Amino acid sequence: MGSPISSVVANLVMENIEIQALETFPDSPRLLKRYADDTFVIMKRSKLSKFLTHLNTIESSIQFTMEKEKGCLPFLDLLIKRSPSGYLLSAVYRKPTHSGRYLNFRSEHPIQHKQSVVNTLLDGAGKLSSTAQDLNSELKYVKRTLLLNGYLKWMIKDKKKKRYNRLPELDLKSFYLTQ
C-alpha cells in the first residue's frame, strides 16, 4: 500500500506536470479535468497528438496515453456523451469487468451499512445521469442489481421514492412493476 503520504505526493507531481503542460503549450485545452492520473481534455482534434507528445516530454518517467472520443468517452464513473446539439451529457459508467456485487443484504453487517449501499447507488444515478432516459435506465439497473444482492423490494422502493417521486418524467410505474 505504501506510505499514507504517497497519494498526496503523487497528486502534487501530477499537478506540477499539468501546470507545466498548460503554461508551455501554445494552444491550451478548452477544458482539462483531472482526478489522480485520469485526465479529461477538450481541445481541437488537430492538437490532441501534439498535446500528448508535449505532456510526455515534461517528465520522462511518466508517460501518458490517450483514448479519443468515439461518440462517448468513459471518465471515472461517468460515460460522457455529446448531444446532437454539441452539449456534453453524462450517464453512469461501469467497466466491462464490473461484477454487480455489493454488500449482501444477508451478511452480518449493521442495517445502516446496507441502507448506505442503496442510498449511494440511488444518489449516483441521480447525480451522474443527465437525461431522464439515462436515469430511468440506471434506476432499473440499481433495482435489479440490489435484488440480486438480496436486498428487499420495500427498502429499495422506499429509498427511491424519497429521492425521485417528485420528478414527473421518470417511469415510476415500470420501476415498481418490473423485477
Whether residues 107 and 171 share a domain: the answer is: yes
Instruction: Look up the pTM and report it.
Output: 0.77
Whether residues 108 and 162 share a domain: the answer is: yes
**pLDDT tens per residue across span 93-150:** 999 999 999 999 999 999 999 999 999 999 999 999 998 899 999 999 999 999 999 9
Q: How far is CA 40 from CA 34, 35, 37, in A?
A: 6, 9, 10
- Its domain, for residue 12, covers 6-68
Q: Can you count the helices (H) and strands (E) in the chain?
A: 6, 5
Rg (CA), the chain: 20
Number of domains in the chain: 2
Amino acid at 91: A
Q: Are 118 and 146 in contact (CB under 8 A)?
A: yes
Residues in a beta bridge with 72 = 81
Whether residues 48 and 103 share a domain: the answer is: no
Q: In the prediction, which pLDDT does 157 show?
A: 87
Whether residues 151 and 104 share a domain: the answer is: yes
